[in-house]
A and B are shown apart, each in its own frame.
Chain A
Amino acid sequence: MSWLRKRKETEHRNIQEQLSAYLDGELLPREREAVEQHLITCSSCRWNLKTLRQTVQWTSELPTVRVPRTFTVPVPARPVPAPRRWRFVPVLQGATALVALLLFFVIAGDAMLTGFQPVTMRRPETQALPVEATSLAEARGAEVTATVLVETVVVEKEAEGLMLQEAPAAEEPAAEEAARMLEVAPAETATVIVGEEIRATMAPAGGGEGAEDARAEESVGEETVAVEAAAPAPLPSEPSLAEEAAAVLPTATTKAMIAPTLAPTATTEAMTAPTPAPAPTEVAMPPPSAQVEVGEALSVPGREPASEWRHGLKPAVLMGVRWVEYALGVLLIVLVGTTIGAMVWRRSKR
């Protein structure tokens, strides 16, 4: 019977080892059944189970100990704002570089196109007029009538092949109108019109003096007088003539603008033209821009009018460019100051 005894001993040991899992309900149904069968007959295992159960019970009732401190890991001090602050300086540096580059290109473009030609501002006509008159006198000399002058203007224009179509004044309606009129109208017509205009102008001012007979010095003198006397001048006797003259007026003015080489001649007309202008109240005054242009054309008498226009930029555009240069320069100075300040501040922060 010893084999049965040995078998029982083995079973007892196996059951003992399974009592722990039996307590936790972690046995397979077959194993659990075997344990329960064994427990019926084995008091040792019953005691074993009972004491184990008590031990596990007490162990599970061990109190939770209080945490002596927190175990957090150190958080880097303000991780988010720090990089944002550092990004500030590169942006400033970039902006400074950009503005510097922009300024360089604008200045380079200006230099190449215009050679930094100074932009002359509008001058008072009272100043311009004597200069014009003198230059006219020098350029033309004696024995030239106003009408002849106008004729010469037209003829010279055509002879020199001055391209009215490609004139920069194309932007201006007045100039376009002038160009159209000049192209369409025969030279004689234009001459006649202008001549009439001048005659009309001079009639009240210069009395009976004929335009054809007028000598240059005299005529210039008369013209100047006429211009000065323009404002108080009485209405012309023939309103139609005055109107016609007024209609021609922009043309004459524009001619002065677009034909700077002929400035002395053309401007004479231009300066003469305003005389009847105040007379017909209904007729519009020459556009202010045209006046400015005339003033500017006058301000460069005879010597450099061609170079003034060579770059193809209107003085207004040129002025704009100069202002952009100025603004960019100021912005660059501000940016450089701010950037250096920011860099110094950052270094001191470190």
Chain B
Amino acid sequence: MDEDALIAAAQKGDARAFNQLVILYQGLAYNVAYRILHDPEAAADATQDAFFSAFRAMGKFRGGSFKSWLLRIVTNACYDQLRVKQRRPTSSLDNLPVEADHTFYLEDTSELPDEFVERQELNQVIQVGIAQLPIEQRAVLVLSDVQGLSYQEVADVLDISLGTVKSRLSRGRAKVRDFLLEKGELLPRRYRLSGEPETEHTGGHAQ
């Protein structure tokens, strides 16, 4: 059965058909939730809630991209998770639990190739950097840069304008970049961003 047929059946209340859609999309949904929430359990809860909500709301689905429709429900479920659990502060870059996560990642890595281990470290820092973003920027950055959605798709999912997508993404990326610069000393040399821009430019950047 193709996706349209599954959607049509699920809209009539066919839980089996809907579960086939779940199998198709749960990877995407969970990964989005995981990158936004930076917490496996909360991500699982948000994913499950999202699929329950989606099944109940199938009747309201009016065609278009099922993926976008589902991802909006997933991001809303993530917002709910954050709101309810008040998990982590997202305002300050100074309260990062990078150290703890970093040591976690360095546990018992003697058997693994150096490059793999180093990459794990980089990924951890990026993940934490994303987690520090304000939720709006985080959602846009995860959908765009982690999941590879186009600007238009991100705009559809989050129900925001293209301009808003652009600006939120620009700020989010810059913050993650700055975070990587800040934590550069924790990273292997090859994953350190070059420290300072050349100062030949005499514009307002120095201010």
Give the B-binding residues of A (Cβ under 8 A): 8-9, 12-13, 17-21, 24, 26, 41-48, 50-52, 54-56, 58-65, 67-76
Contact = CB atoms under 8 A, between A and B. Distances in A.
A56 B26 contact: no
B158 interface: no
Contacts of B55: 73
Interface in B167-205: 167, 169-170, 173-174, 176-177, 180-181, 191, 193-194, 196-201, 203-205
- Mostly, the B contact residues are helix
24 contacts: A18-B170, A20-B170, A43-B198, A44-B203, A46-B198, A47-B194, A50-B194, A51-B177, A51-B193, A55-B176, A58-B122, A58-B123, A58-B180, A59-B145, A60-B145, A60-B148, A61-B123, A62-B35, A62-B123, A65-B31, A65-B34, A72-B51, A73-B19, A74-B15
Contacts of A52: 173-174, 177
A51 B194 contact: yes
A26 B44 contact: no
A76 B173 CA distance: 45
Contacts of A72: 19, 22-23, 51
B16 interface: yes
A13 B170 CA distance: 12
Contacts, number: 126
B151 A70 contact: no
- Mostly, the A contact residues are helix
A71 B29 contact: yes
A52 B174 CA distance: 7
B76 interface: no
B169 A44 contact: no
Nearest to B148: A60
Contacts of A75: 15-16, 19
Contacts of B48: 71
A70 to B, nearest CB: 6
B23 A70 contact: yes
A44 B198 contact: yes
B59 interface: no
A74 B16 CA distance: 9
Given A47-B196, A56-B145, A73-B52, 16 more contacts: A20-B166, A26-B151, A42-B201, A42-B203, A52-B173, A55-B177, A59-B146, A59-B176, A65-B30, A65-B31, A65-B34, A65-B40, A71-B47, A71-B48, A73-B22, A75-B16
A16 to B, nearest CB: 8
Contacts of A69: 44
